[in-house]
Structure 1
Amino acid sequence: MSNQTRVINIVTNDRPISKETSRILKQKLEKNGFLIADTFDPKAELIICIGGDGSFLRTLHEYKFPDIPIVGVNTGHLGFFQELSPYQLDEFIFRYEKGDYIIQELHPVEALICTRNSCIEIMGINEITIKGAKSRTIHLNISLDDSFLEKFSGDGVLVSTPTGSTAYNYSLGGSIVDPRLDLLQITPIAPINTVAYRSFTSSLIVPRESMIKIHPEYTFENSIVVVTDGMEHKHNEIVEINLKMSEIKIKLLRLKNYDFWNKVKEKFL
């Protein structure tokens, strides 16, 4: 394939530093013979997302989890997904052309939300959270595959991927999970554990084949909010939510010296 036909998508947020980084990156890539798509091209060979972790997640959701490798340039705060800093653009282009990178495959978590009338499917890269609307306490019957697990009482539960283990899950006291592991984590949000109510107070780690089934008590059908990667979904008369690991793969481009635990140390300690 000649360089003239090598198309790259650049997606950026509205911050001035992001727009300036995008302008510089476009110039550098074009100088190296790449073509930058004017509008998102689903046949491009790479997506470069400029912004923070929020921009990265929004890009994947907006373009329906495309089957194209994606790499992030961090102009935000934490930058856990973002592989590059703006000063690394030349190094990145040099290494990308040499093939000096790896592709890290991530599986989202998917949920089928069934109301009395229909079922809606949603996906989360980090997590899907089920909680009470207007900060109400809710009661949820939780099963794992065909085994009843618990009647949960509290603010809600979060189901996270290994990738999402360092996000909201970590704030709730959940475990940090190496992304090379294929599993889901169920983490309680403010569980109530009293004589009247018994809820798990630690996160539960379950294998990737697991189906997590959540049935709200019928009086709570209209007071449930489902949040995926920070985006709220409100449906009335929710009778069941089934969660599992998706078969879809997100292809995250990492430079060859990427080390998850170094990144954890750098960002959290």
Structure 2
Amino acid sequence: MSDQRRNLYFYYHPSQELDEKVKELFQLAQDNDFHLTENPEEANIILAIGGDGTFLQAVRKTGFRQDCLYVGIRSHNEAGLYCDFNIDDHEEMIYAMKNAEVEVRRFPIIEATVNGESTFKCLNECSVRSTLIKSIVVDVHIDDLHFETFRGDGLVIATPTGSTGYNKSTKGAVVDPKLPCFQVSELASLNNNRYRTLGSSFILSGERTLKLDVRQDGNDYPVIGMDNEAFSIRNIQDLTIKLSDDVIKTVKMKHNTYWDRVKRTFL
């Protein structure tokens, strides 16, 4: 690990059981000449302890930092697509750091702009869903092309790493994160003589722009999901979604590839 990356910030949800384990990590870090900070803006390594959900929150709460590394640490013995390390395996962490058994991987993120004003970043996915017992109608544009008019429960727009989450539950494809792209999947679309959509997920190049125009027919207050957080924004007229120029840099074990983690999680 570079001498320039010695300031650590730990992000986790305190509990009696976890607090004791985190204290051990604090001591381990200090014994190996790392410096602890309570201010994430001063850190150049941010460690998220918990699981994939905690990792997503850590990235969001710290502002999708471009000048630091993110490290995912599992607090329980469960598979994690963002978390390579286990909180109980101190020896593996130290060995990996000291013997250059880690590498930096870059994960794509998407940007969603609401009504041409507020822009939000997402590492996993952005979703737009109806909050009423009524279908939502959305005109889907790819660049300048009106592609389809969707009617149903909503749409999920996922990054490659997010393709294994909500997107996968909608029968979307699992995508290699080395591909600069994003995926659009449907939630309970209506397909009949009046309404017709593609009926399957589709993948867009990172050079494309997706625009979703929400029909103002009384369902004007959909829930906008940004990773694992929901935002209720009044009077949603349109969302413009594109692949960001920014990426999330994470520390990963060299021998633990993305497809190793997919296999371990699902197979």
Q: Which runs of 5+ in 2 are unaligned?
A: none
Is the 8 Å Cα contact of residues 74 and 84 (structure 2) preserved in structure 1? yes
Residue 2 of structure 1 deviates from its aligned partner by: 9.7
Residue 40 of structure 1 deviates from its aligned partner by: 2.3
Counterpart of 2:96 in structure 1 is 95
Counterpart of 2:46 in structure 1 is 47
- The equivalences for 1:183-262 within 5 A come to 183-220=181-218, 222-262=220-260
**Would the alpha carbon gap of residues 84 and 148 (structure 1) be closer, same or farther in structure 2, given more than 3 Å must change?**
same
**Would the alpha carbon gap of residues 5 and 120 (structure 1) be closer, same or farther in structure 2, given more than 3 Å must change?**
closer
Q: Does 1:10 align with 2:10?
A: yes
Which amino acid is 1:12 matched to? Answer: Y
Which deviates the most, 28-37 or 186-195?
A: 28-37
SS of residue paired to 1:226: strand
Counterpart of 1:129 in structure 2 is 127
Residue 220 of structure 1 deviates from its aligned partner by: 4.3
Which deviates the most, 182-191 or 227-236?
A: 227-236
Counterpart of 2:61 in structure 1 is 62
**Would the alpha carbon gap of residues 4 and 69 (structure 1) be closer, same or farther in structure 2, given more than 3 Å must change?**
closer
**Would the alpha carbon gap of residues 129 and 3 (structure 1) be closer, same or farther in structure 2, given more than 3 Å must change?**
closer
Residue 5 of structure 1 deviates from its aligned partner by: 8.6
Counterpart of 1:180 in structure 2 is 178
Is the 8 Å Cα contact of residues 221 and 236 (structure 1) preserved in structure 2? no
- The equivalences for 1:103-182 within 5 A come to 103-114=104-115, 119-182=117-180
SS of residue paired to 2:168: helix
Counterpart of 1:267 in structure 2 is 265
**Would the alpha carbon gap of residues 69 and 149 (structure 1) be closer, same or farther in structure 2, given more than 3 Å must change?**
same
Residue 183 of structure 1 deviates from its aligned partner by: 0.7
Which amino acid is 2:108 matched to? Answer: H
**Would the alpha carbon gap of residues 17 and 266 (structure 1) be closer, same or farther in structure 2, given more than 3 Å must change?**
farther
Is the 8 Å Cα contact of residues 222 and 235 (structure 1) preserved in structure 2? no
SS of residue paired to 2:56: helix
Which deviates the most, 58-67 or 94-103?
A: 94-103
Tell me the TM-score normalised to structure 1 length: 0.92
Tell me the TM-score normalised to structure 2 length: 0.93
Q: Aligned equivalents of 1:107 and 1:51: distance in 2?
A: 22
Residue 78 of structure 1 deviates from its aligned partner by: 4.2
Is the 8 Å Cα contact of residues 3 and 33 (structure 1) preserved in structure 2? no
Residue 221 of structure 1 deviates from its aligned partner by: 5.6
Identity rate of aligned residues, in percent? 28
Q: Aligned equivalents of 1:93 and 1:7: distance in 2?
A: 16
**Would the alpha carbon gap of residues 94 and 40 (structure 1) be closer, same or farther in structure 2, given more than 3 Å must change?**
farther
Which amino acid is 2:32 matched to? Answer: N
Q: Which runs of 5+ in 1 are unaligned?
A: none
Residue 255 of structure 1 deviates from its aligned partner by: 1.2
